[in-house]
Amino acid sequence: MSDMLMRLEAIITDRKHNPKPGSYTNSLFDKGRNKIAQKVGEEAVETIVAALGQGRDQQIAELADLFYHTLVLMSDMDISLADVAAELEKRHLPAQE
């Protein structure tokens, strides 16, 4: 798992439990899950638009926004990167007989 994603997850979790005035992350938490989920959807659409007609730098920027907002939503739902990694591992392990 990416060290940067794990560091970002830790920062988001810290903001959730220790709000910091002026923090964009805290403004998302303050707006609630519906708004956070809406933001993930907006970022997904922007990622698709970038994938279909923009340059690599914009594609990377939009994917970064999507990852960040997804991590905020995961934190709001008390789902960790480790939880998602475990699910992916479960899906990709050879079938046990």
pLDDT tens readout for residues 53-82: 999 999 999 999 999 999 999 999 999 999
pTM score of the predicted model? 0.91
- Total domains, the chain: 1
The pLDDT, as a whole number, for residue 22 is 96
What angle (nearest 5°) sits at the alpha carbon of residue 20, between those of residues 18 and 24? 115
Count the alpha carbons within 13 Å of 73 in the hemisphere toward its beta carbon: 17
97 inside domain: no
Q: For residue 28, is it within any domain?
A: yes
Which residue range forms the structural domain that includes residue 53?
Answer: 3-92
Is position 14 within any domain?
Answer: yes
User: What is the CATH number for 75?
Assistant: 1.10.287.1080
Q: Are 81 and 1 in contact (CB under 8 A)?
A: yes
Q: In the structure encoding, which two tokens stand for residue 74, read together? A: 């995961």
Quick check: helix, strand or coil at residue 32? coil
36 in a structural domain: yes
